[in-house]
Structure 1
């Protein structure tokens, strides 16, 4: 408390905290020796990193649903946890498989000879990746494409029509892990009917954020995940989506939340998380970083009467007060700069 009183007295006398200390308050013969602070710390030079932590759920990310486009009976379903890759069956209708192919553009029409468009190119690229040839991967469905489709259909046990009917394939960005089933074997299959839900095959953390958090959380950002055992592993934000949640009562309005997905990065991170199928974890996001700066404990800061902050500098058995500019706050320390403040400077820690 004495330090604050000294600073206020200096301000009231028209001087600054720096001037007050520099003038050597207490040097008169009738004054007692200066009282040193109860504790001290040295100014250190370091990289200061500020972070924010969010509660997350370790799993496989947000699940999405595949909707059936065929008519008949559900005759085949995968098991929850199965991983389905390009060219494999997601489920079956009337004994015929619905095949997973990779692509961003959803199927929206039957594809046949004479058709043109990006969906044709997407189909042809998948056929090529599955080992079929004799055609050019472009946006034209030619007789050569039809011949490759017939060969593909023969390998799957389908009727060799050379035409890909709407609903026979589901285009998804990558291999998928089955998260849940929406129907049972023997159920009627109708267009528009949800059949199963699926996720990424990569371990990921899902976090609910406030819209204001988007200032710090960006797609592609490198982050860390703290596992239940305390180990931290690297991850990357791969998806940000917005949801509107209805209010729970008559007086509550709908609210907007952001769902962030962060996938674990690298084999070591995946190995460290292998023992957790689902678990509560912390997502750690870097919100600021200052390299090679001078820092002191936050508890060393003194609030100045004229505004701002100061430090009590201890040297040669005496103390003086120096006004400082502050920067980044992190981990109980703060970036500082000011006249006479350098690495190794000793500052007081008030009670």
Structure 2
């Protein structure tokens, strides 16, 4: 080994982390072995340290956008499930099939041969409504009646005789005894359509109030995954991601929700486990429609440097004076030039320095 050559820097390797984490596309450069001193004083100017011999291979200094990405495992499906409990007592006389999508004014299940109807709204049904009832739940009911074409009332917070008449017409259309009042449990409010993930009750079963009937999800396909709190910098609401399906298809996506989840420790002496539940929507809503549930890869961008000069990481050499350099090659020979490194990603590194220009050739060990 001569004592006037810099030491090549080994190429970083991708690594996998357990618990759903897949790969790190960028790693910190670790110099293995002994750094050999350069005998010529190094000031950063080209030609200060001529190479002992021509390199065995070269690479081109390229201008590009460099992305530092991290990839995690996730699940493509319809998101988290919620349990629909009956607020009516009676016998189950009809149930939907798993996978059924239920929209506004459609039945979710039947009790005593009368349907439980889905209506649109964010406020859950929590009481019966009849003439004289006042509140946001009344307004929510009236908004639905109006949207469904019923009239003769004012959409406000008061259940009037006009509201009761509209309710009677609505009940008749559904084959329900037209009482003009809405019993607790006859309607279920949801912000949008729902999908039946699973059926918890059985046909002919006698229900008690509060008993589970259906497991519901949303109707939009999303990707869900869990991240360590240490990775929260990646999961910002609105940030763009790339989702890779099992067949290798890559789709654009966006983080739409990030919530903190705390799992109590089984042992009182241990700390609770805190994780981040991340939901990603697909830009192409129809993508992966043939997949009911699938394991996918979600690629997050930790950092992005645009319009920078890059070389293969293998082109870096460690200088005796500290820092890194590259061997710049031209028709007359080659010289070591000091560089400042930036982002490392995908086997390349961002560099800058005197004499470093796009299109220049640098030495790379074979």
> Does residue 311 of structure 1 match 2:326?
yes
Q: Could you tell me how far 1:141 is from its partner in structure 2?
A: 2.6
Question: Displacement of 1:83 after TM fit?
Answer: 0.8
| Aligned-residue offset at 1:152 | 1.0
Correspondence list, 1:71-150, <5 A: 71-150=89-168
Name the residue aligned to 2:339: 324
CA contact (8 A) 2:37 2:321 kept: no
Distance 1:315 1:7 in 2: 26
Deviation, 1:48, is 1.8
In the TM superposition, what is the alpha-carbon distance from 1:8 to its structure 2 partner? 4.8
Q: Does 1:151 align with 2:169?
A: yes
What residue in structure 1 maps to residue 12 of structure 2? none
Identify the match of residue 3 of structure 1 among 3, 6, 10. 6
Over the residues paired in the alignment, what is the CA RMSD in angstroms?
Answer: 2.6
Give distance in 1, aligned partners of 2:319 and 2:266. 47
- Deviation sequence 1:248-290 (CA, Å, 0-9, x none): 77986542222222232225xx2x4122222221112222222
CA positional deviation for 1:86: 0.6
Structure 1 residues 114 and 350: CA distance shift in structure 2, 3 A: same
Aligned residue for 2:44, secondary structure, equals helix
Question: What is the distance in 1 between the residues matched to 2:337 and 2:343?
Answer: 19
CA shift, 1:243, in A, is: 2.9
Q: Which moved further from structure 2: 65-74 or 298-307?
A: 298-307
Give distance in 1, aligned partners of 2:252 and 2:37.
Answer: 51
CA distance in 2, matches of 1:192, 1:277: 29
Quick check: 1:208 aligned with 2:226?
yes
Q: Find the aligned partners of 2:346 and 2:48 in 1 and give their Cα distance.
A: 34
CA distance, structure 2, for counterparts of residue 16 and residue 140 of structure 1: 84
TM-score, structure 2 length as denominator? 0.83
> Unaligned 5+ residue runs, structure 1?
27-33
Structure 2 residue aligned with 1:281: 296
Residue of structure 1 in register with 2:76 after alignment: 58
Where structure 2 has 5 or more consecutive residues not aligned to the other structure, the ranges are: 9-33
Per-residue Cα deviation, 1:166-198 (whole angstroms, up to 9, x for no partner): 211111121111101111122222222221111
Distance change (3 Å), C-alpha of 1:248 and 1:350? farther
1:295-325 Cα offsets, whole Å, 9 max, x none, are: 1112222233454332222233333222222
Q: Which residue of 1 aligns with 2:18?
A: none
Shift in CA distance, 97/342, structure 1 to aligned 2, threshold 3 Å: same
Partner Cα distance (1:296, 1:226) in 2: 27
Q: Secondary structure at the match of 1:123?
A: helix
Task: Note if contact 2:50-2:334 (Cα within 8 Å) is conserved in structure 1.
Answer: no
CA distance in 1, matches of 2:351, 2:341: 5
- Residues 221/105 of structure 1: CA separation in 2 closer, same or farther (3 Å cut): farther
The answer on 1:185 being equivalent to 2:203 is: yes
Higher mean displacement: 325-334 or 60-69: 325-334
Q: Does 1:344 align with 2:348?
A: no
**Residues 233-312 of structure 1: pairs in structure 2 closer than 5 A:** 233-246=251-264, 253-266=271-284, 270=286, 272-312=287-327
- SS of the residue corresponding to residue 18 of structure 1 reads coil
Residues 187-224 of structure 1, C-alpha deviations (whole Å, 9 max, x = no match): 22222222111112122222122122221112333322
State the shift of 1:100 in Å. 0.9
Kindly indicate which of the two structures has a greater share of residues assigned to helix: 1
Kept in 1, the 8 Å contact 2:305–2:343? The answer is yes
Q: In 1, are the aligned partners of 2:61 and 2:309 still within 8 Å (CA)?
A: yes
Aligned to 2:53: 35
